[in-house]
A and B are shown apart, each in its own frame.
Chain A
Amino acid sequence: MTYAVNIALLLLLVLTAASATFLVRELMSSVFILGSYSFFLALVWAWLGAVDVAFVEAVIGAGLATVLFLITLFDTAPKDSRLRRPPPPLAGVVGLPLLGILLLFAANDLSPFGDPTSPANVHISPVYLQQSYADTLTPNVVTSVLMDYRGFDTLIETVVIFTAGIACALLLKEPGS
C-alpha cells in the first residue's frame, strides 16, 4: 500500500515539475524547476532498477544541464531585457496534453514491465545474461555488454562526444581569446 502511494507521489512530482517548467514565467525559476524534474526522473529510473541511467540523469540533467542553462542566462541577461518570456501558446497548452494522452493510449499495446516473454527479453538478452561470464570473465553484465560485446559502439560514442566538444569550442569561443 505504502509502496503504491510512494510511486504515485513520485510520478505526481515528476508531472508537476514538468508542467511547472513550461508554465512558470521567469526563466531562472524554470531552469531550477527543470533541474528538480531531472532529479525526480532519476528517482524513477532508480525505482525501475536502471541505476546507471539514474546516475547519468542525476549528474547530467540536474547538475551539468542546469549549470549550462544558468551560464547562458547570466551571459544573455544584460543584453536581453526580456528575461520574462511570453505565456505559452494555447495550442501548446491544449495540444501537448492531448498528445500525451494519445501516447498513453498507444502505450497500452506495449508488453508489461518485466514481462519475460516480451520481444526485447527473448531476442538476445538471454544469450548475454547466460554467457557473459564465460565469454568476458567480467562479473558485471552491464560492463561486459558496454565495453566488451559492444566495444565498438562505446568507441564511436566517445568519438561523438569528442566531436561535440570540438564543435562547441569552435562555434562558441571568440577568435583571439
Chain B
Amino acid sequence: MKQMHDSLIVQTMSRLLIPLAQLFSLYVLFFGQYGPGGGFVAGVIWTTSMILTFLVYGLKSPQGRLVELVLHGDGVGLIIFVGVGGLCLIGGGEFLNYANLEILGMDAPSRRYVGILLTQIGVAVDVAVTGISIVLSLAYHDTEQEYDV
C-alpha cells in the first residue's frame, strides 16, 4: 500500500481499469435520471476506482497524492445538495422544489432536470469522499511505529 505494486500485470491492468470505472461512474451518474443508477452508486464506483489507484500506485506517487487531495472535499457534496435546496427557496418555492430554480431561459422540465442532476452530483461527491476517507483512515497509519510500543 505504501509503494507501487511491483507486478507489471497489476499495473497495466489497473491503468486500463481505473479510467473505465471512472467513465462508468460518470455514465451511471448522468444516466441515473432515465435508468437505474444515480448519485449513490456513481459515488461508490468512483470510490472503488480511487481505492484501486492508491492500492496499486501507493500513496506517495502522484496518483496517490491526487487521492489524498480528494479528502479536502469532505462536506462539499452536502453543500451542493443543500445549496440547490436553498436556490429553490430563493426562487420563491419550497425547499428542494426544483421547479423554482431560477435559471433564465429554461422551462420546467429542464429546471427539474438540472436540479435533480445537481443534487445527484452532491450525493455522489459526498459518498465518494466519505468512502475514500474511511478506507484511508483504516489503511494509512504507521505500522512500524506501533511495533516499538
Q: Are B112 and A138 in contact (CB under 8 A)?
A: yes
Q: How many residues of B contact A (CB 8 A)?
A: 52
Produce 1/0 per residue, B122-149, CB < 8 A to A: 1100110111011101111111001000
Does B45 make an interface contact (CB < 8 A)? Answer: yes
User: Which residues B72-100 have CB closer than 8 A to chain A?
Assistant: 74-75, 77-78, 81-82, 85, 95-96, 98
Residue in A67, A154, A169 whose CB lies within 8 Å of B123: A154
A29 on interface, CB distance cutoff 8 Å: no
B-side contacts of A67, CB under 8 Å? 48, 51, 55, 135
Question: When the two chains form their complex, are residues A140 and B137 in contact, meaning their CB atoms are under 8 A apart?
Answer: no
Kindly list chain A residues whose C-beta atoms are within 8 Å of the C-beta of B109.
Answer: 137
Q: CB within 8 A of B48: which of A59, A137, A139, A147?
A: A59
B41, CB-defined interface residue at 8 Å: yes
Contact count A vs B, C-beta below 8 Å:
129
- Nearest-neighbour CB distance to chain A for B123, whole angstroms, equals 5
A: interface residue count bin: 35 or more
Which of A137, A161, A168 is the one whose CB lies under 8 Å from B112?
A137
B141 in complex: contacting residue of A68, A146, A173, CB < 8 Å: A173
Collect the chain A residues with CB atoms within 8 Å of residue B37's CB.
52, 55
Contact call A63/B48, Cβ cutoff below 8 A: yes
Partner of B120, one of A59, A74, A147, A169: A147
Can you list 9 contacts pairing A with B, beta carbon distance less than 8 Å? A56-B44, A71-B139, A72-B138, A138-B116, A140-B33, A147-B119, A151-B119, A155-B81, A173-B141
Known contacts A140-B34, A143-B38, A165-B131; 15 additional CB pairs below 8 A are A55-B37, A56-B40, A56-B41, A67-B55, A71-B138, A79-B146, A138-B33, A139-B34, A143-B33, A152-B96, A158-B81, A164-B134, A166-B74, A169-B134, A174-B142
